[in-house]
Amino acid sequence: MATWIWVLLIMIALIGGFVGGFFIARRYMMDYFKKNPPIDERMISTMMAQMGQKPSKRRVQQIMNSMKQQE
């Protein structure tokens, strides 16, 4: 085979790998976020209410900020 055919096949394989990898990674992340949704202020307020605490806006913001710092 000619060299240009090999180069063309390698280029097609690379492009196919990038496109396939993108969609596989995207699907994995969508499934991950479905199973483990990120925590928001509403969820923190609900958890505090379930524990018998009255969730104040200030306390919820403190918890959100501390979680962001841990990341």
Residue-wise pLDDT for 5-62, tens only, equals 999 999 999 999 999 999 999 999 999 988 887 888 888 999 999 998 888 889 999 9
Residues with Cβ < 8 Å from 45, sequence gap 6 or more? 55, 60
- Which residue, chain included where needed, has tokens 């202020």? 41
pTM above 0.85, yes or no: no
Going from N- to C-terminal start, the domains of the chain cover: 1-37, 39-71
Determine the pLDDT at residue 9: 95
Distance CA 39, CA 26 (A): 20
pLDDT above 90: percentage of residues in the chain:
46
Q: What's the pLDDT score for residue 71?
A: 67
